[in-house]
């Protein structure tokens, strides 16, 4: 499945496990690189990837057919990683 097809399927059903798996398989390198850029290496990136994939699936409804799917995915991954990092910082600050 192409990224365009995956995003169209997820725009209808964000819980389409096959589409989420294809999204990850098609973009594993970009996703991993983005997660490592925001969270470094170790166990945190492994935990973040699943959350990131679900959030990207949730936002697929904002994908426009005329958009470049690769650019949309890169932008969405960056936005969601930034949000996840900010949430983690806020949660840590609230614990102290």
How is the chain split into domains, by residue range?
3-95
The CA distance from 47 to 68, in Å, is 28
Q: What is the pLDDT of residue 96?
A: 65
Give the pLDDT score at 88.
Answer: 87
Q: Which residue has the tokens 């932008």?
A: 75
According to the model, what pLDDT value does residue 92 have? 85
- pLDDT at position 46, please? 76
Contact call for residues 7 and 74 (beta carbons, < 8 A): no
What is the model's pLDDT at position 94?
86
Mean pLDDT, contiguous 10-residue spans, the chain (96 residues): 96 96 95 92 81 96 95 96 92 82
Decide if domain 3-95 falls under CATH 1.10.1740.
yes
């Amino acid at each position: 499945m192409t990224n365009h097809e995956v995003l169209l399927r997820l725009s209808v059903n964000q819980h389409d496990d096959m589409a989420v798996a294809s999204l990850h398989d098609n973009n594993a390198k970009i996703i991993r690189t983005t997660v490592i850029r925001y969270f470094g290496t170790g166990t945190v990136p492994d935990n973040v990837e699943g959350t990131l994939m679900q959030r990207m699936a949730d936002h697929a409804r904002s994908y426009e057919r005329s958009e470049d799917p690769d650019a949309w995915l890169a932008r969405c991954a960056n936005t969601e990683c930034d949000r996840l990092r900010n949430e983690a910082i806020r949660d840590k600050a609230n614990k102290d």
